[in-house]
Amino acid sequence: MPSYPQYLEAAAAPRRVAGVTSVDNNLMVVLPESDYRDDVKLATAANNALAQNVTVPDSVEATAEDGDVTLTGTVSYLTERAAAEAAVAGLAGVRNVRNDIDISYVIDPVDVDLHVQQALHRSALVPDDSDVESDTKDGVITLTGHVRTWAEHDAVVGAAWMALGVIDVRDELQVTS
């Protein structure tokens, strides 16, 4: 793969095929010489991209080593964490992005369960008769049950991440088709 965005798309494409229940991604990004950036230039470009994105808090920082960008810091929402990764993913010279950003949000654990269930009910891709269950402890949600497709799987995981107070989602869902 000549770029990180192409790598991400190549990994996501098979999941959209009916009947696919697992994807092992053994691809690597091999940058053309024209896209190579030394560590200092890549880290500077990544930090500039983070600073220019209004969704990413100032607490997020990037470092680079041999084309691998590592994001660190603390955010309040998954959307901020995802925005940080998206901000650097398309930069020339990026071979991989490691997202080590922590999510820190103070909320009553009972409310987290309620928010997760509400998010699952709002998702059009999660059927009403789904056996998906969520268990929450200290803001960490463990999802169990069965889903029919990867689209349904992604909708369930996405719905869990959208609940207020979620700091991590443990995905133990099984794709059955």
CATH topology of domain 109-175: Histidine-containing Protein; Chain: A; (3.30.1340)
What DSSP letter does each residue of 23-76 carry, written as one string? ----------GGG---HHHHHHHHHHHHHH-TTS-TT-EEEEETTEEEEE-EES
Instruction: Report the predicted TM-score, pTM, of the whole model to 2 decimal places.
Output: 0.62
Q: Report the topology of domain 4-103.
A: GMP Synthetase; Chain A, domain 3 (3.30.300)
Average pLDDT for 36-62: 95
> How would residue 3 be classed by pLDDT, with cut points 50, 70 and 90?
confident
DSSP 97: E
In the chain, CATH 3.30.1340.30 sits at 109-175
Residue 37 has pLDDT above 90, yes or no: no
C-alpha span between 15 and 119 (Å, rounded): 23
Instruction: Return the percentage of the chain with pLDDT > 70, whole number.
Output: 87
Closest by Cα among 163, 154, 162 to 171: 154
pLDDT of 71 over the 90 cut: yes
Query: Looking at the chain, which residues constitute the CATH 3.30.300 domain(s)?
Result: 4-103
pLDDT digits (tens, 9 = 90+) for 136-169: 787 788 889 888 888 888 888 887 777 766 778 8
